Amino acid sequence: MPAPLRFGSVPRKHSKMKYERTLLREVKGYVPGEQPRCSKVIKLNTNENPYPPSPKVLEALQSLGPEALRKYPDPVALALRETCAERYGYPAADWIIAGNGMDELLALALRTFVDPGDTVLAADPTYSLYEVLCALHGATLQYVDLGPRWQLTEAFFQTPARLCFFTRPNAPTGIAASREEVERFCAVFDGIVVIDEAYVDFADDNCMDLPKRFENVIVMRTFSKSFSLAGMRLGVAVAQPPIIREFLKTKDSYNMNAVALAVGLAALQDYGHMEANVARVRATRTRLRDALVELGFDVPPSQTNFLLAQWQGQPSAKALFEALKRQNILVRYFDLPRLRDALRITVGTDDECDAFLAALRTLLQALGG
Ligand SMILES: Cc1ncc(COP(=O)(O)O)c(C=O)c1O
């Protein structure tokens, strides 16, 4: 049986539905960050990009005629995969698979490479969806704790598993393991390594070349963060063709809709727009981090579009989170042992970050012990 869930567990007595599968009795499901209906909120809680997607994307949307909706989309997303292959330095589309968000590809990786009952490895803390996906699949997620500065430990390199979710840069810490560590891990791990690069466009380097060298490596990317397309649901995975052929067996027949295919293509063709937005976010990230450090927060250097701001003082991090929320400023709070003293703050526009900092300063003065 899978280990008990921290994020998704629900006591058996609460499970009332007569027709429920045995496996689902222990699973509550993933709880995403809040998406408020009110537009007056400063939303720094789900790592969206504060800047709009490329104008080319909007043009592609507007030029979609009724025919594109009447017909089924390309079941194998060939144009998008070819463009990705070219962009990421791969010879052809058979190195790429597209997904309805990276979340779909993460679930597909379990469906394709993990048997129920198998063990999956991840560092802790990390992206909490992995645990829910493993529970839904009947697999056991084996966590290995990160060290005191959120670094990988030797135990991570020595734990056997069928598949590993290697998140680089990691969430919610923002830290990227060194490339040497990734390469060493890929060489020793006897299973599939999914390198989750959801935030990598905000980082100094990436591992997109590793599938060329390692037959067990899958690099995954999302369009939700750097390309400002979270609402579109688009992700891609890169791996050697035999791996991609397995994915093509397990994916839904039309997993990519016609709108997402057109939008994804346009976004890739205007890569410079994404890079310019990333540069703005990185500049604001530096400014926001400096200001938080000055206020007394411990903030690991982030390679992503968010900061983990750790806070030992008064009021507690949870009280700060709640007080900010009452002022319509949303950040993320995780009620977990190692994260209870921290806020995860998405890097917004300069104005949003200034408003957040002003509110935070006032709260620390008013509520501070
Ligand atoms: C580490 C990590 N991986 C994957 C995803 C999922 O990305 P997508 O929006 O493409 O499903 C997220 C989203 O927040 C994430 O934080």
Alpha carbon of 146 to those of 150, 167, 173, 245, 327: distances in Å?
Answer: 5, 12, 10, 34, 34
In the reported structure, the alpha carbon of residue 363 is separated from the centroid of ligand 1 by a whole-number distance in angstroms of 31
Listed in sequence order, the residues at least 6 apart from 54 whose beta carbon sits closer than 8 Å to its beta carbon are 227, 266, 267, 270, 273, 274
Ligand 1 first shell, C-beta below 6 A: 47, 101-103, 127, 167, 171, 196, 198, 222, 224, 230, 235
What is the set of domains in the chain, with CATH numbers? 12-51+273-367 (3.90.1150.10), 55-271 (3.40.640.10)
In the reported structure, the alpha carbon of residue 129 is separated from the centroid of ligand 1 by a whole-number distance in angstroms of 9
- Nearest atom of ligand 1 to the alpha carbon of 127: 1
- Nearest atom of ligand 1 to the alpha carbon of 102: 10
Measure the CA–CA gap between 198 and 234, rounded to whole angstroms.
11
Q: What is the pTM of this model?
A: 0.94
**Residue 312 Cα to chain centre, angstroms:** 27
Measure the CA–CA gap between 84 and 93, rounded to whole angstroms.
8
DSSP string computed for 164-208: EEEESS-TTT-----HHHHHHHHHH--SEEEEE-TTGGGSS---T
Could you tell me the two tokens for 63?
A: 């030029």
Q: What pLDDT shows up at residue 1? A: 45
Q: What pLDDT shows up at residue 29? A: 85
Measure the CA–CA gap between 40 and 32, rounded to whole angstroms.
20
Q: What pLDDT shows up at residue 6? A: 60
In the reported structure, the alpha carbon of residue 295 is separated from the centroid of ligand 1 by a whole-number distance in angstroms of 30
In the reported structure, the alpha carbon of residue 250 is separated from the centroid of ligand 1 by a whole-number distance in angstroms of 20
- Report which of 139, 109, 115 is spatially closest to residue 1, judged by C-alpha positions: 139
Q: What pLDDT shows up at residue 2? A: 47
Averages of pLDDT over runs of 10 residues in the chain (369 residues) are: 51 66 86 82 96 98 96 98 98 98 98 97 97 96 97 98 98 98 98 98 98 98 98 98 98 97 98 98 98 97 98 93 96 94 98 98 82
Q: What pLDDT shows up at residue 15? A: 54
